[in-house]
Amino acid sequence: MRVVPPSFEVLENLDTESLAVRIEFCGRICYKSENKIDQESALPFVSKMAEHGHNSVLEMGVVTLEVDCADKARADELFFTQPRYLHIDRNENQLLITGSVRAFREMLMFHDDCQVVNAMCAFLNDRHPYFFSTILPEKGFIFDSSITVRKVELDEVTQFSPDKLLKHRHIAVKFVVNRAITHEIVRHRPCSFLQESQRYCRYSDDKFGNEVTFIKPMFFAEGSREYAIWQKAMLDTEQMYLQLLETSTPQAARTVLPNSCKTELIVYANFAEWKHIFKLRTTKAAEPTMREVTIPLFEDFKQRFPTVFS
């Protein structure tokens, strides 16, 4: 049995990596297979995710595009598709569009007759064909020379005005918390989530130290009677879990694991949603162990992104 404090890590440096590297880094948290990451592993990993339609993993790669249309009708055409998962700013016939790999894939799958969608996905396919190879339109992309697409680099995005930063700047945070906290965090629908999977992780394996890890509870002082009761309960649970693994699968054995279990969760959202999270989860009415991580995280964001969060 291992006991660790809750923690978080702002994955700001990840934004400077390629889409494939970002997606692999986040995706491998589910199976805790980060040890398989090397210089050649990203493309096979993301190709497999796209091929099998593991869309939640593909949400971890976001790109911003600038789309220029020759006339208003072309720009209007995109809005007729009701693009729910794209963040869009419009200046007459110029569109500023931010979306995840999943969002662009689904736009192509369901609206391949929209020429703006074709132009964006053709642009992305030229650079990242492994995301689109299994869903290409039967007749190929529709090329309209009146539509031009340009990738907006991260350095440009960071220079946006605060109102545009709220929509278009995304950031990932890795939480190491108990599972009760993750149940609350995943209620924030506009976010993307990837979480360590107790269904597949076998904590009796060497890479987990052959033990279950629990998050230290803030409610009980170490050395107190209450802490001793909690500690015994966790030890007993660990023993039952390890015994079940002798004859059962991880997904069956996990049924005895409590909320105190450590889990790793990556939350990916734009600045607007992070502001909403902090507004709800740092107040006195918020769950205490939630505030334990969100208050210092909010302070971290204020230091990193003062134009939006201070």
pLDDT of residue 309: 95
Residue 14 in contact with residue 20, Cβ under 8 Å? no
pLDDT, average across residues 212-239:
97
Q: How many whole angstroms from its chain centre is CA 130?
A: 20
Share of the chain above pLDDT 70, in %: 100
Residue 117 in contact with residue 78, Cβ under 8 Å? yes
Is residue 138 classed exposed, middle or buried when 0-12, 13-18 and 19+ CB atoms within 10 A define those classes? exposed
Residue 305 in contact with residue 297, Cβ under 8 Å? no
CA 233 to each of CA 34, 191, 227, 248: distance values in angstroms, whole numbers, following the listed order: 30, 34, 10, 21
CA 55 to each of CA 2, 61, 279: distance values in angstroms, whole numbers, following the listed order: 33, 11, 29
CATH architecture of 19-165: 2-Layer Sandwich (3.30)
Domain boundaries, the chain: 2-15+169-309, 19-165
Q: How many whole angstroms from its chain centre is CA 280?
A: 20
In this prediction, residue 239 has a pLDDT band, given cuts at 50, 70 and 90, of: very high
pLDDT of residue 143: 85
Domains 2-15+169-309 and 19-165 share a fold: yes
pLDDT, average across residues 1-21:
96
pLDDT, average across residues 270-293:
97
pLDDT of residue 138: 87
Residue-averaged pLDDT of the chain:
96
pLDDT of residue 137: 92
Q: What is the pLDDT of residues 96-119, one digit of tens each?
A: 999 999 999 999 999 999 999 999
Q: Is the pLDDT reported for residue 158 higher than 90?
A: yes
Q: Could you tell me the two tokens for 7? A: 């923690």
Q: Is the pLDDT reported for residue 310 higher than 90?
A: no
Share of the chain above pLDDT 90, in %: 94
Q: Which residue has the tokens 């055409």?
A: 77
pLDDT of residue 207: 93
Q: How many whole angstroms from its chain centre is CA 297?
A: 16
**Which CATH number among 3.30.1360.170, 3.30.300.30, 3.40.50.720, 3.50.50.60 corresponds to the domain 2-15+169-309?**
3.30.1360.170
Q: What is the pLDDT of residues 43-86, one digit of tens each?
A: 999 999 999 989 999 999 999 999 999 889 999 999 999 998 99
Q: Is the pLDDT reported for residue 218 higher than 90?
A: yes
Q: Is the pLDDT reported for residue 211 higher than 90?
A: yes
